[in-house]
Amino acid sequence: MADVLTLPNWLRTLGTGPHGAHRRALRDDCGEVTFAELVEAMDAVAVGLRRAGLHTGDRVVTAMEPSIPHTVVILGALAAGLVAAPLNDRLTGPEARAYLATLRPSAVIADTAHASLAQETGCRVIELPAAADHLPVADRTAPLASRGGPLAPPAEDSPAIVFATGGTTGVPKGVCHTHRSLWLWLNTCAHGNPRTVTDVELFFSPFFHITLGTNLLAPLFAGGEVWIQRRFDAGSALAAIDRGASRLMGAPTMFTALRGHPAFATTRRENVRAIRFGSAPSTDGFVRGLLRDFPNARIRAGFGATEFGSVMGFDHEDLLADRFTGVGRPLPGAIVRILDEEGRDVPAGVVGDLVVACPWQAQGYYGLPEETAETFRADGVHIGDRAARSEDGWVFIVGRTKEVIISGGENVYPREVEEVLLRHPGVADAVVYGLPDEHWGERVEAGIVTVRGTTVDLAQLRAFCRADLAGYKIPKRLRRLDAIPLTPNNKPDRRRVRTEALAEATGTGAEASRVAPGPPTEPR
C-alpha cells in the first residue's frame, strides 16, 4: 500500500514510523491525538462507514464544527474509498439541498450543533453526539468508530474530496479532487511554503474552504502539528499564539483583527516563524505592520482557487524589497498563462484571461459535465479571472470577467481600483462595484472603511487615484462602511455591498446620507 499516492497511506507512514508515531498531530478544545492515534481513529471510522452500508465512490457529507472528530471523519472517508464533502454550515436548509442535489450523498455525518441542518438536507444522517465532549477520540467519533482495518487503498485516480465553490453567483459547484491530485497539492503546499515537524499550525478556518488542505492537511502531510479552533476569534487565536502556535494563515482582515485586539500588545509573538495571507488585496501598511509585529516570521502571500489549489505567491524577500501588490510568480509545476479572446498569449502589461494548468488541479465539477468542459479545458483551467503580467513575470489580478464594470463602453475591473484605493493612507479597507447609471450605463462606486480617527471624502480619493487610474476607472460615488462584509470563504462580499448600495440608491434601503455622490457628467 505504501506506493499508492493517497493521503491515508501517507499518514500511515507517519503514524507507524519510529520517530513520528508518538508526536502530537492534532489538538482542539476537547482533546488531542498523536499521529499513531490519528491513523488508528481514521481506520476505525473507515471500517465503520463501510459497515454502515456505504460503498466505494459514495459521497459522504460532513456537517460539523472544525475539530478532531471532523478531521478523522474526512480522513476515514478517504481511507474507505468514499468521497468526502465538507458542507458549508452557513447555508440554510434549502441552500444545502440545492447544492447537494448534484452530489447525491449517501449520508451526512453531523455533530450535535449541526444535526438540524443535516436533517434539513433530506439525506440519511449519522449523528456523532459526543463529538464536542472531552473524551477519547474513539468515543468522540462513536457510533462510527469500529474495530478492523486498514482497508485496501482506493485507486489514485478515483474521486477523494469535494470542495464547494464560493457560490457568489448562485448555487455552489462541487470541485472534485482525486486521491492523486490531493496528494500532489498537499506535497506542493508542504514544500512551497516549507514546514518542519516542529511547527505548530494554528487553524481557524472553516473546513469547507480549501484552507482545509493548505492549512490543516498539508501540515499533517509534513509531519507537523495543528491546533484547531472552532471558529476565528481574535482573543482565542492570540491565546494560542501565546502558548506556542508558530504558523499562521488567514485573510488580511483576520490579521487586522488580531492586531486590533487589546491582548495583542502582551502576547508573546516571537515564536511565530511563518505567516501566510491571501484571499484579498493587501496594503503596504498592512504588510509593513506584519513585518514589524512578527519580527521572527517569514511572511508569504499566496494565490489559488478551489479549482486548482495554490499556484502563485510571493516570498518574504519580495516583501522586504517593497513588492506588495499583485499575486507574485507561479509555483514550480504551475503553468500560468494570460490569453486573449483567440487563445493567444498577450504581451506584458496587457489584460487577458488567466489560465492555469498544474499536476494537482481538480478533475472538474462533480456531476456537472457541461460546466466542467467550460472551465477545465485542454489548455488549462479557466476560472474567469482577468490578469496581466509584468516583464519579469509578476502576475496581477485585475478582477473577474463576471465582475467587470462597463462604464461608458470601457471595462473596469474592481480589484485594480481597490488596490489603488488601499494605498491611500486614510483607507483601511475598500470594495469596488458597479451600479446602473443613466449617463454611463454603469458607474464605478467604492465602499471604504477609513482608518480610525481619519476622514476621507470623494474629492480626496478621486484626486489620489488620478496618478494611477484612467478617469473612467475612478469611483464616482463613495459609501462609508463600518466593515467590509465577507463571504463564507473570507473574501470581500462584493455582491452584498452592491445590493445594499443599490437599495440605498433606489430609496429602498437604509439612509443615503452615508453616500458621497459625484456629478454624473464629471470628466473621465
Residue 360, in any domain of the structure: no
- Between 243 and 171, name the one with better pLDDT: 243
C-alpha cell at 352: 487577458
Is the pLDDT reported for residue 352 higher than 50?
yes
Per-residue pLDDT of 489-502, as tens digits, reads 667 888 889 889 88
31 dihedral zone (left: phi>0; alpha: psi -120 to 50; beta): left
Residue 27, in any domain of the structure: yes
Q: How crowded is residue 133: how many other Cβ atoms within 10 Å of its Cβ?
A: 14
Residue 414, in any domain of the structure: yes
Average the pLDDT over each of 46-50, 59-63, 226-230, 255-259 and give the range with the smallest value.
255-259
Per-residue pLDDT of 120-150, as tens digits, reads 999 999 999 999 999 999 999 999 999 887 8
Global pTM reads 0.83
Question: Which of 177, 208, 235 delimits the end of a domain?
Answer: 177
C-alpha cell at 17: 514510523
Confidence of residue 520 (pLDDT cuts 50, 70, 90): very low
Parallel, antiparallel, or unpaired: how do β-strands 83-86 and 107-111 relate? unpaired
In angstroms, the CA 151 to CA 80 distance is 7
The domain total for the chain is 2
Is the pLDDT reported for residue 428 higher than 70?
yes
CATH number where 444 lies: 3.30.300.30
Q: How high is the pLDDT of residue 280?
A: 65
Q: How high is the pLDDT of residue 91?
A: 85
Question: Which of 135, 161, 177 delimits the end of a domain?
Answer: 177
Query: Which runs of E-coded beta strand occur in 220-308?
Result: 225-228, 247-250, 274-277, 298-305
Residue 300, in any domain of the structure: no
Is the pLDDT reported for residue 168 higher than 90?
no
Range of the domain at 120: 1-177
Question: Which of 126, 147, 177 delimits the end of a domain?
Answer: 177
In angstroms, the CA 356 to CA 327 distance is 14
CATH number where 13 lies: 3.40.50.980
Q: How high is the pLDDT of residue 487?
A: 75
Q: How high is the pLDDT of residue 137?
A: 97
Which residue's C-alpha cell is 459535465? Answer: 369
Residue 269, in any domain of the structure: no
Confidence of residue 511 (pLDDT cuts 50, 70, 90): very low
Residue 5, in any domain of the structure: yes
Across 315-329, average pLDDT:
88
Residue 94, in any domain of the structure: yes
Per cent of the chain over pLDDT 90 is 65
Per-residue pLDDT of 55-68, as tens digits, reads 999 999 999 999 99
Across 242-267, average pLDDT:
92
Residue 374, in any domain of the structure: no
| Mean of pLDDT over the chain | 89
